[in-house]
C-alpha cells in the first residue's frame, strides 16, 4: 500500500489480530448473524488487515456493514439457493446475504467442481459486498489450482472521456500456486484506485494523486489535490493518453461476467444487488503440477532478481508486499487509526457488546 494511505506510526494503535477478530465476530452476532457466518466474515476482513489491504479491512467495511444491517439492507440469515447447475457452471441466488459470509463456499464449490471438469465457474447474484477479491482467489492455491474472482463494485467510475458514473470499481483477484517462492496473488480494482482508499485518505488528511479522479463535470484531475466534492473515479490508467481505455474495457468485462452473465444487468442497469464470479483452473488437468510450480518459481525469482530502475531498491510482484505485511502484522499487531478504535468501542457499547480493544 502506498505510504499516503498508511496510518502514521506515531498515532497508530496496534491490535492483535485475535482481539480484533473477536470484536468483529461479536458485532456480527449482535445483528443475528449465525456464529459460523460471523466467523467466516471476520476471516475475510482480518485477511485484508493482516495482509495490508487496509481499504477492505475492518476500518472501512464494518461501518458499511453495520449501517446495512441497521437499515435492513442486508439479510443476516440468508439461504443461498443453487439456481443453475451444469457440469462446470453453477449459479447461486444469495438471498441478499453479505458476500463475506457466503463467498468462501462459492469459491470452494468452484474448486471442488474443477477437480472433475478441469475448469469450473460459480456465479452468484442478489448479494452484498464480498471484501477483497484476493481472499477467494487465494483459496484455490490449497487445491493446486489457479483461482480467479471478481465482483461488481460501487457504481462510481466514469468511462474514458465520459462524465457519468456508468461502471463499478470492479476488482479482479488472481492467484497462482508456486513451490519455494511466495505465490502470485493479484488484486486490483479496475478503477484508477480503490474507492475505499479515498476514505483512507480522508481519514489521514491526504491528497489524491494525478489521474485518480475527475471533478464533478468529468474533467480528470491531473495534479495533487484534496478529495473534491462530487468527484468521479477514473478507470485504471487515468486518461486515454496513458491507457484508461484498458481499465475501462476490463471494468466492462467484470460487469459482463458478474452482472450480465447472471441475468441481472450491468452498470446502471444492475438488478438484484451485487454479483460475484469465482473461477478455478485445476493445474493438473493441463500439465504436471510439479512442473508448473517449478516454472512459476523460476519466473517469480527472475522478477525478484530483476535489475531495479534508477532510484528504486528492488522489484516485487503481486503477493510479495502482502506477504511481508502479514509477517510484520502477525508479530507486531495491526495498525489502526485511533478514530477506528473509537468507532469500534462506541458501536460495541451501543450494541451491548463487551470489547477487549486497547
Q: Which of 216, 166, 167, 227 is nearest to 191 (CA)?
A: 167
* Average pLDDT estimate for 185-192: 96
Q: Is residue 5's pLDDT more than 80?
A: no
Bridge partner residues of 89 (DSSP):
86, 121
49-58 pLDDT per residue, tens: 999 999 899 9
d(CA 130, CA 112): 20
What does the DSSP assignment read for 76-107?
Answer: SS---EEEEEETTEEEEE-TTB-HHHHHHHHH
Q: Which residues contact 216 (CB under 8 A, 6 or more apart)?
A: 228, 229, 230, 231, 232
Measuring CA to CA, how many Å separate 23 from each of 47, 58, 269, 306? Answer: 15, 10, 37, 42
pLDDT in tens, 34-68: 999 999 999 999 999 999 999 899 998 999 999 99
B/e letters for 291-328, b = 16+ CB within 10 Å, e = fewer, are ebbeebeeebeeeeeeeeeeeeeeeebbbbebeebbee
Q: Quick one: what percent of the chain has pLDDT higher than 70?
A: 99
Determine the number of helices (DSSP H) and then strands (DSSP E) in the chain: 10, 13
Taking only the tens place, the pLDDT of each residue in 251-310 is 999 999 999 999 999 999 999 999 999 999 999 999 999 999 999 999 999 999 999 999
pLDDT tens-place string over residues 318-339: 999 999 999 999 999 999 999 9
* Residue 1 confidence (pLDDT): 60
Phi/psi-derived region of residue 273, left when phi > 0, alpha when psi is between -120 and 50, beta in every other case? left
Q: Any idea what DSSP says for residue 178?
A: -
**Domain annotation for the chain: domains and CATH numbers:** 3-350 (3.30.1370.60)
| Mean of the per-residue pLDDT values of the chain | 96
Nearest Cα neighbor of 83 from 92, 75, 95 is 92
CA distance 283 to 295: 12
pLDDT tens digits for range 109-127: 999 999 999 999 999 999 9
Q: Report the predicted TM-score, pTM, of the whole model to 2 decimal places.
A: 0.94
Reported as a pLDDT band with limits 50, 70 and 90, residue 2 is low
DSSP state of 309: P
Amino acid at each position: 500500500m502506498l505510504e499516503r494511505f498508511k496510518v502514521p506510526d506515531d498515532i497508530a494503535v496496534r491490535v492483535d489480530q485475535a482481539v480484533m477478530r473477536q470484536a468483529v465476530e461479536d458485532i456480527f452476532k449482535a445483528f443475528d448473524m449465525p456464529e459460523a457466518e460471523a466467523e467466516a466474515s471476520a476471516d475475510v476482513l482480518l485477511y485484508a488487515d493482516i495482509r495490508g489491504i487496509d481499504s477492505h479491512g475492518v476500518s472501512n467495511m464494518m461501518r458499511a456493514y453495520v449501517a446495512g444491517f441497521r437499515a435492513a439492507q442486508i439479510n443476516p440469515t440468508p439461504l443461498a439457493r443453487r439456481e443453475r447447475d451444469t457440469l462446470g457452471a453453477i449459479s447461486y441466488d444469495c438471498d441478499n446475504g453479505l458476500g463475506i459470509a457466503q463467498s468462501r463456499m462459492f469459491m470452494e464449490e468452484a474448486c471442488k467442481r474443477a477437480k472433475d471438469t478441469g475448469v469450473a465457474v460459480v456465479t452468484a447474484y442478489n448479494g452484498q459486498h464480498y471484501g477483497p477479491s484476493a481472499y477467494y482467489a487465494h483459496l484455490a492455491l490449497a487445491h493446486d489450482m489457479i483461482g480467479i474472482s471478481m465482483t461488481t463494485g460501487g457504481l462510481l467510475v466514469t468511462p474514458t472521456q465520459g462524465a457519468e458514473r456508468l461502471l463499478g470499481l470492479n476488482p479482479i483477484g488472481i492467484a497462482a500456486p508456486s513451490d519455494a517462492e511466495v505465490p502470485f496473488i493479484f488484486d486490483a480494482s479496475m478503477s484508477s484506485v480503490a474507492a475505499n482508499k479515498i476514505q483512507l485518505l480522508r481519514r489521514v488528511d491526504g491528497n489524491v494523486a494525478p489521474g485518480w479522479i475527475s471533478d464533478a463535470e468529468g474533467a480528470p484531475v491531473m495534479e495533487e489535490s484534496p478529495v473534491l466534492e462530487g468527484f468521479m473515479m477514473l478507470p485504471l490508467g487515468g486518461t486515454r493518453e496513458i491507457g484508461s481505455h484498458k481499465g475501462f474495457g476490463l471494468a466492462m468485462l467484470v460487469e459482463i461476467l458478474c452482472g450480465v452473465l447472471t441475468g441481472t444487468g450491468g452498470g446502471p442497469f444492475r438488478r438484484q444487488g451485487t454479483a460475484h464470479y469465482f473461477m478455478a483452473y485445476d493445474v493438473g488437468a493441463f500439465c504436471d503440477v510439479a512442473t508448473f510450480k517449478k516454472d512459476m518459481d523460476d519466473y517469480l525469482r527472475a522478477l525478484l532478481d530483476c535489475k531495479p530502475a534508477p532510484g528504486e531498491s528492488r522489484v516485487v510482484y503481486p503477493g510479495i508486499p502482502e506477504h511481508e505485511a502479514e509477517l510484520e502484522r502477525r508479530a507486531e499487531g495491526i495498525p489502526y487509526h485511533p478514530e477506528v478504535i473509537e468507532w469500534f468501542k462506541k458501536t460495541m457499547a451501543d450494541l451491548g457488546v463487551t470489547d477487549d480493544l486497547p
